[in-house]
Amino acid sequence: MHLFGDQQLTHKTLGAMADKYGPVFTIRLDSHRVLVLNSWEAARECFTAMTLFCTRPSTAASKLQGYDYAMFGFSPCGSYWREMHKISTMELLSSHRIDMLKGIRTSEVETAIRGLIVELWLISKNGLEI
């Protein structure tokens, strides 16, 4: 990115390139080709109609950590991801569910603080430095 020049900010340089080459163009950054989109219509088309752009890269780490892509955060876009997204949004992250579980979060924070206070008291009682 430093090769774009130090006189202008990167987004302004890319905007000038979009004025010159059009709203959709590619550039090469090191060994990677980068698709630059400068219009919301092109971005919407890429991320809604073309599933190639909305998926995550398949790596060995995400396959192992995500239990063969079964975890929501590691799964590629598709029907499984859409279903997990719907379930997590409606069941786990809804305002009703968050309000319902507020007492548990409060209790967990209070327990953690009490544990820290006891640990600090034991350290100061034994004369150890913190």
Domain boundaries, the chain: 1-54
Single-letter code of the amino acid located at 2:
H
Reply yes or no on whether the pLDDT at 14 is more than 60.
yes
44-60 mean pLDDT: 75
Reply yes or no on whether the pLDDT at 2 is more than 70.
no
Q: What is the rounded distance in angstroms from the CA atom of residue 111 to the CA atom of residue 116?
A: 9
List, in order, residues 6 or more apart from 27 with CB less than 8 Å away: 17, 33, 34, 36
91-115 mean pLDDT: 93
How is residue 78 written in tokens? Answer: 């598709």
Which one, of 67, 36, 69, 68, lies nearest residue 53 by Cα?
Answer: 36
8-17 mean pLDDT: 84
106-113 mean pLDDT: 97
Which one, of 22, 4, 21, lies nearest residue 13 by Cα?
Answer: 4
Q: Which residue do the tokens 């430093």 mark?
A: 2
Reply yes or no on whether the pLDDT at 6 is more than 80.
no
What pLDDT score does 127 carry? 72
Q: Which residues on neighbouring strands pair with residue 27, listed in sequence order?
A: 34
Mean pLDDT over each residue of the chain, to the nearest integer: 84
What pLDDT score does 40 carry? 87
- Band (pLDDT 50/70/90 cuts) for residue 104 is very high
Reply yes or no on whether the pLDDT at 105 is more than 90.
yes
Reply yes or no on whether the pLDDT at 67 is more than 70.
yes
Reply yes or no on whether the pLDDT at 130 is more than 60.
no
